[in-house]
Amino acid sequence: MSTLRWTHPGNDATSFTAHLGLSPNIYTEHVELGLPVPAGDIYTAELAVPVGTYYALTAINAGGESDYSNVLVPEPASALLFGALLLWRLAKGAS
């Protein structure tokens, strides 16, 4: 298991999704993370992310789904913590 940690500016997210794939921006697996309770402004979720798998996060609110966060790839390590700064952008049509 890997620990994903990210920040999210704002408090309007109702859930987050992790998107995983073997190439950047080509995701074949989508894992609903729900809405973890943040510690301060940092959200945390446990997720199996195989070495060599690229991943990005999206946030969901009443207006839809955000764009992808920055793309990350885990490095080989047994207890590595992964961080992602979720750059929140409201989905089209969101107010």
User: Does 90 map to a domain?
Assistant: no
Of 78 and 14, the structure prediction assigns the larger pLDDT to: 14
Q: CATH code at 7?
A: 2.60.40
The per-residue pLDDT for range 4-32, each reduced to its tens digit, is: 888 887 778 899 999 999 888 899 999 99
User: Does 94 map to a domain?
Assistant: no
* Residue 42 structural domain: 2-85
Alpha carbons 79 and 18: distance in angstroms, whole number: 19
Contact between 51 and 76 under an 8 Å Cβ cutoff? The reply is yes
Backbone angles phi, psi at 69, to 5 degrees: -70, -175
Total of domains in the chain: 1
User: Does 11 map to a domain?
Assistant: yes
Contact between 55 and 72 under an 8 Å Cβ cutoff? The reply is yes
Sheet holding 15-21, edge to edge: 29-34, 15-21, 54-61, 64-65
User: Does 21 map to a domain?
Assistant: yes
Alpha carbons 29 and 11: distance in angstroms, whole number: 26
Q: What pLDDT score does 74 carry? A: 64
